[in-house]
Amino acid sequence: MSQDRASWDDRTYSLLLDLIIKQRDLCHWNSTGPTSLGWSNVVREFNEATNLGYNKKTCQNKYNELKHLYFNWRDGQTHTGLGHDPLTGEVTADPEWYGASPGVLTTRISLIFFVAIRFLLTQY
């Protein structure tokens, strides 16, 4: 992988989460996520599909970031302006909430990814 930052789009998010879900289904899972074998499989299959050359740490960091965003969104649902836009399917918040909560939910991300994260975080 080059020294540049990893570039993620909806396709790569989706692929990463699908591969992680596959490892969970194969029981390569522990209390915090995929096992070492699971991560090795995820990274290998991810790079075969994308030719991006990302390493294990890059994929783990992205997964942890998505979990963090999910938890912040889930916990922020009590705020009346936080939820999802039914037209776009993206997580939304009113601009005042974004400004008052720096670093909490700074990106707009598709709700479909939160559904996948929620699935990964639920117990069997």
The string of pLDDT tens digits covering residues 70-109 is 787 777 666 555 666 667 666 666 666 555 554 444 445 5
Q: Which pLDDT score, from 0 to 100, does residue 23 have?
A: 94
pLDDT tier, 40 (very low <50, low <70, confident <90, very high otherwise): very high
What's the angle, vertex CA 123, arms to CA 43 and CA 31, rounded to 5? 55
> Which one-letter amino acid corresponds to residue 26?
L
Whether residue 24 is contained in a domain is answered as yes
Pick from 87, 116, 91: nearest CA to 106: 91
Q: Which residues form the domain of 79?
A: 10-121
Whether residue 5 is contained in a domain is answered as no
Whether residue 41 is contained in a domain is answered as yes
What's the angle, vertex CA 32, arms to CA 50 and CA 104, rounded to 5? 80
Whether residue 31 is contained in a domain is answered as yes
Least reliable range by pLDDT among 41-50, 56-65, 90-99, 112-121: 90-99
Whether residue 113 is contained in a domain is answered as yes
Whether residue 3 is contained in a domain is answered as no
Q: What's the structural domain count of the chain? A: 1
